[in-house]
Structure 1
């Protein structure tokens, strides 16, 4: 079974070129025209998808050949193409960076690469960079290029004239700092914290219209995953189970696909806000996802009601999954970069400190007793834990270096790893099952 839909893979030579802003601008522009737009992000990310979701009006999930899996990516694209008028996939880092890279994804699914190049301070060298991007892998479909952050209309014309033969120049977007989204130590500021985000998205859509970056890419034919029609739907392993999920400015790093997975497994999701002072709802299991607890230390410390509720939940032998920020929250103390510390829930002996440098980064898999779960790690905190880990994650690249620790105390599982639940449905469900 197959279906066609216009699609493009928005890539760049490196990080920081403006991929998220331009992808969001394209999504908002075509959405304003009445088109149904689906956007994906290459690889693990929580912050960029928040921006892309607000731009497109639809949730945004990762596509990654290792973490998500080739057939699962194929099926996600196929299902999106059935309902969308346009599919955009935002790359991560540089086009050829990572193993597997964004280029690998584009080749695998025939996604035409639309390169975005920050052309500030550049003239004819722009053409050389585009030549390299378009020819480095001859089997990769390459549709054209957008020049970003140009200084003037004349600068844009100069870049257009520098194009290698056969490469389409989609347009030049002039530099405008008002279009960008603020960032902090883990990346962009969360979408909900940018009060004028919608106005920025509208301005960005207007900017690409002015630049002439408005034509739809060519249709791509997407096929269903192998055996998708024949594979029976898995039995709901969490039928009727109530799962409490922390969700606020401190705990916002959740993949929509993970939430959908839990619901497909039959779980009832109950959201609560530790920062707002909520206690724990009447639930069977708890998920404390990642986020920015280090930015909300005093509010979290003041919520002694939730701390007591979690302690009682844990003492009763009910499941808790704590990932990254959630793991930090369960320690005895957490301190920000200035050394200001506050008491946390205290279910795990130890403390953590926010550092200036990145402390953990990369794709890893957790070898849990329930089965292997794939995911990624990305954090600036350093934790000292008075509990022996039950395992250490393995790295996707197989470098041999030790991955993130996985801690367990009864039904409490805690780690820096952000897991992609559908990578092993049985293992993920077992973490929450009563």
Structure 2
């Protein structure tokens, strides 16, 4: 079997909030500034952290999830990254061993050495115990070393380093830098495009990392190249219009890559900028933040009419999460204000302050079974019976999927590479109506 090698690290931590995203972005930025080509991946079905990493590295950040993506998909992406790049960085999710599958599962399965980021602002010698536990809790997980984050002083850093047991590699310490912190809101970090000084914040951390051992490339990791059959061009000659702006910004890069591999021509438009629906064979309204832009979307009665004519003509329209919220009749925001939406489906969505759904799911549609995830703070009230109901990984009921002609709408975020043939059928106007 063919193999490819490239220096690689997986950033993990004892818990969420330790600073993984900022440090992965900073290290990507540091090595990119040095003229290296860096590919970043994010564990879990996350849309926001990858936007930060894409800015820092200068290329799209793909997602790794053993259940949603599958081992073959991850293995192929690692092998391709090893061929095209000088460094591979993977950001873990939650704590190193949290979840099923966990970041540790990813590290062990693909031989990715773990760099543990430990928030050390409220500890001294206990730092050594935490590092020892992360390194030895599962001996089969490859371990590279530890980085102390949010350190108070040079003396503090010295105490932390001295506490490390023999055999655990010290990768440096970073001081607390409020000016480099990344702002967030209800779904996580702000989208990269909304952080005006994002580059300056990441550069501050990159400058600090320049004085640590991480400024040098880690040892190379060897990745096997899996056998893959060519992707049939099932959407050859089809033009897909995709909404993309601050209201519709949750898009897996792998989804765009697959649509292109299927032969589709992709064209993007901005509902917030006043763009009309482009001439197309199919359309896609991805997830995002329609609740933050409800007045502007409510004013797009012209776009609502264009989308209705599109669906009435029998053309496919996929509306995911925020896109789905847009195609119902009304949206009620957090202030209790009601906004008219595009009105393609009967009912409304109502924003809430608490998380309404989170987790990986799969759904069996007439086109085939696709995997993905849900993450939202709103609920949907509709008299419409669903076409299908997704299932969570533990078998519990997940998100409903509504179908009207070729309009498919759900809170469910589809990971297209989980079933390329079903994806092609979703977007192919020649496919019969499944309802």
Could you say which TM-score interval applies, normalised by the shorter chain?
over 0.9
In structure 1, C-alpha distance between the alignment counterparts of 2:52 and 2:184, rounded to whole Å: 12
Deviations 1:79-119 (A, max 9, x none): 00001110000001111111111101100111000000111
3-state secondary structure, aligned to 1:349: strand
- Asked whether the equivalents of residues 39 and 87 of structure 2 are also in contact (C-alpha less than 8 Å), the reply is yes
Deviations 1:351-378 (A, max 9, x none): 1111110001000001111111000110
2:358 is the counterpart of 1:380: no
Q: Which runs of 5+ in 1 are unaligned?
A: none
In structure 1, C-alpha distance between the alignment counterparts of 2:285 and 2:138, rounded to whole Å: 42
1:353-368 paired onto structure 2 within 5 Å = 353-368=350-365
Given candidates 306, 316, 330, the residue that maps to 2:313 is 316
- Asked whether the equivalents of residues 276 and 299 of structure 1 are also in contact (C-alpha less than 8 Å), the reply is no
TM-score (norm 2): 0.97
1:159-308 paired onto structure 2 within 5 Å = 159-225=160-226, 227-228=227-228, 231=229, 233-308=230-305
Query: Stretches of 4+ moved more than 3 A in 1?
Result: 210-213
Q: Which runs of 5+ in 2 are unaligned?
A: 430-435
What root-mean-square deviation, in Å, do the aligned CA atoms of Structure 1 and Structure 2 show? 0.9
In the TM superposition, what is the alpha-carbon distance from 1:213 to its structure 2 partner? 3.4
3-state secondary structure, aligned to 1:213: helix
3-state secondary structure, aligned to 2:345: coil
In the TM superposition, what is the alpha-carbon distance from 1:210 to its structure 2 partner? 3.5
Given candidates 405, 413, 425, the residue that maps to 2:420 is 425
**Aligned counterpart, 1:102:** 103
In structure 2, C-alpha distance between the alignment counterparts of 1:10 and 1:40, rounded to whole Å: 10
**Aligned counterpart, 1:31:** 32
Q: How many residue pairs end up in the alignment?
A: 428
In structure 2, C-alpha distance between the alignment counterparts of 1:177 and 1:326, rounded to whole Å: 35
- Asked whether the equivalents of residues 277 and 299 of structure 1 are also in contact (C-alpha less than 8 Å), the reply is no
In structure 1, C-alpha distance between the alignment counterparts of 2:198 and 2:38, rounded to whole Å: 18
In the TM superposition, what is the alpha-carbon distance from 1:345 to its structure 2 partner? 0.3
Deviations 1:259-313 (A, max 9, x none): 1111111111111111112221111111000000000011000111100000111
2:393 is the counterpart of 1:392: no
In structure 2, C-alpha distance between the alignment counterparts of 1:419 and 1:252, rounded to whole Å: 14
In structure 1, C-alpha distance between the alignment counterparts of 2:204 and 2:361, rounded to whole Å: 38
2:43 is the counterpart of 1:48: no
- Asked whether the equivalents of residues 277 and 303 of structure 1 are also in contact (C-alpha less than 8 Å), the reply is yes
- Asked whether the equivalents of residues 402 and 408 of structure 2 are also in contact (C-alpha less than 8 Å), the reply is yes
3-state secondary structure, aligned to 2:199: helix
TM-score (norm 1): 0.97
In structure 1, C-alpha distance between the alignment counterparts of 2:294 and 2:99, rounded to whole Å: 35
3-state secondary structure, aligned to 1:366: strand
Deviations 1:210-264 (A, max 9, x none): 3453222111001111x23xx2x12211111111101000001001110111111
**Aligned counterpart, 1:65:** 66
3-state secondary structure, aligned to 2:268: strand
In the TM superposition, what is the alpha-carbon distance from 1:395 to its structure 2 partner? 1.1
**Aligned counterpart, 2:410:** 415
3-state secondary structure, aligned to 1:178: helix
In structure 2, C-alpha distance between the alignment counterparts of 1:189 and 1:210, rounded to whole Å: 28
In structure 2, C-alpha distance between the alignment counterparts of 1:91 and 1:234, rounded to whole Å: 29
- Asked whether the equivalents of residues 144 and 168 of structure 1 are also in contact (C-alpha less than 8 Å), the reply is yes
3-state secondary structure, aligned to 1:66: coil
3-state secondary structure, aligned to 1:296: helix
- Asked whether the equivalents of residues 231 and 261 of structure 2 are also in contact (C-alpha less than 8 Å), the reply is no
